[in-house]
Structure 1
Amino acid sequence: MAQLLELSTFSSDSGNLTVFEKIIPGAIKRAFYIYGADDCVRAGHRHHKTWNALICLNGSCRVYVNDGQTDEHIWLDKPHKCLILEPKDWHFMDNFSEGSILLVLSNEVYDKADYIYEKYENA
C-alpha cells in the first residue's frame, strides 16, 4: 500500500533544504511535474513495475490510492511530505489548489505497456 513519508528537512535563517534519497527502489529515471490542473483529475492507473514518489512542491492536492485490498485518500499539502506509490497502487490525483505543483519521480522511464488502467473490483 502507498506510504506517506516525511522527508528530512533542515531549516536555517537562509531557508529550508529538504532531502530526497534512498526512497524508491533503484535509480530515479524519470521526473515530471503537474501544474495548472486546478479543476482536473489526473492519472487513473497503476503499473506493472514502476514505483512513483509524489511531492506537492507548492499548494496541495488529494491522492486516491487503492492497492486491491485497501483504499484511502491522502492529502499532499507540504513540500516535505512524500507519497510513495508501489506498482500495485491504482491511483488518481484531484482537488489541486490554485498554483499547485506536483512533482513525480519514477524509477522507470515512460513505457505505455507498463500502465494498467483497469480499477480493482473495490475501487
Structure 2
Amino acid sequence: MAELINLTTFADTRGNLTVIERVIPFTIKRIFYIYGVDDSVRGGHRHKTTIQAAICLKGSCKIFNNTGQEEQEFTLNSASQCLILQPGDWHKMYDFEDGTILMILASEHFDPDDYIYESYLPAV
C-alpha cells in the first residue's frame, strides 16, 4: 500500500532546504523526473520488485493507486512530501499543473520485465 511521508524541511528567511536522508526505505539505484506533461496520463503500471518514491519538486499532480484490495488518490503539491509506492501498487499520474516536475527515486535499475501493465479490477 502506498504511504505518504513528510520529508524534513528547514525553513528560514533564506528559503527552504529539504533533506532526503534515512527516510527512503530502499537503496536508490535510479532517479528520473517527469515534466512538460500535457493532459496525458503517465504510469499505468505496477512493478514486480521495484519500490518507488515520488516527490513533486514543483507544481502539483495526482497519483491514483490500486493495491488490488484498496484504491487511493494522492495529490502531490509540496517538495517536502514523498509518496512511497510498493511493488504491486498499480499507479497512474495525472492532472499535472503547468510547470510540474515530478521526481521518482527507484530501488532498481530499469528493467522492462519488471513492469506489469494490467490493472487490478476496481476495489469494492
TM-score (norm 1): 0.95
The equivalences for 1:55-94 within 5 A come to 55-94=55-94
The equivalences for 1:11-50 within 5 A come to 11-50=11-50
- The size of the alignment, in residue pairs, is 123
CA RMSD of aligned residues (A): 1.1
CA contact (8 A) 1:24 1:51 kept: no
Listed as ranges, the gaps of 5+ residues in structure 2 are none
After superposition, give the CA deviation of every residue in 1:8-42 in whole Å (9 maximum; x if it has no partner).
10112221110112333331000000001131100
SS in 1 for 2:43: strand
Distance change (3 Å), C-alpha of 1:19 and 1:4: same
SS in 1 for 2:46: strand
TM-score (norm 2): 0.95
After superposition, give the CA deviation of every residue in 1:73-106 in whole Å (9 maximum; x if it has no partner).
1000111111000011000000000000000000
CA contact (8 A) 1:24 1:52 kept: no
